[in-house]
Amino acid sequence: MFTQTWKKYLPAIVILIKRSVASEQELSMNHTDFERAAGGRKIKFSFSQLQLNKGKLNTSIQQAPLAKELAIVLQEDAAAFKLISNLELEFSMGRDFVLHIKNNATPLLEQEEAALQEESEPVSENVAE
């Protein structure tokens, strides 16, 4: 139902996903695009906590069809999937038709520094005497 609408906004969403490494991003969208796609049906046009971890949808959280279709569009587009396959992203959209994109992944540099620090820490063992 909303696949074509999400595909329309996909290029902008991909750019914002790239920028989400630095800070949370927002995309204001036109409400008439979604209302036309709904075909006059009463639909809830908001969702929260759409989580994609390394490109996979977190199925432990019940999602609205609108949110699921966004996840599917991101997973089916080759360029978008390549981008999201290494990230932990969270999407939400309010009634104001503003899509929020939050990157929850620890930046790679920080992960590498943490791994190096763990390796350099002395291991203490309790030895019974």
Per-residue pLDDT of the chain (129 residues; tens, 9 = 90+): 899 999 999 999 999 999 998 999 999 999 999 989 988 888 888 999 999 999 999 888 888 889 999 999 999 999 999 999 999 999 999 999 999 999 987 655 454 555 555 555 555 455 554
Residue 87: the pLDDT is 92
Point out which residues pair with 99 in neighbouring strands: 27, 93
In a domain, residue 125? The reply is no
Confidence at residue 105, expressed as pLDDT on a 0 to 100 scale: 74
For residue 128, being part of any structural domain is answered with: no
- Specify whether the CB–CB gap between 102 and 24 falls below 8 A: yes
Q: In terms of residue numbers, what domain contains 91?
A: 3-120
Q: How many CB atoms lie within 10 A of CB 124?
A: 6
Q: Does 126 map to a domain?
A: no
Q: Which residues contact 28 (CB under 8 A, 6 or more apart)?
A: 96, 97, 98
Residue 129 in any domain: the answer is no
Question: What pLDDT is recorded for position 109?
Answer: 47
Q: How many domains does the chain have?
A: 1
**Residues 49, 111: Cα–Cα separation, whole Å:** 24
Token representation of residue 17: 């996903």
C-alpha 42/C-alpha 48 separation (Å) is 18
Q: What tokens appear for 104 in the block? A: 């929850």
Does 28 map to a domain?
Answer: yes
pLDDT at 71: 95
Residue 93, domain member (yes or no): yes
Q: Are 24 and 100 in contact (CB under 8 A)?
A: yes
* Number of neighbouring beta carbons within 10 Å of residue 123: 4
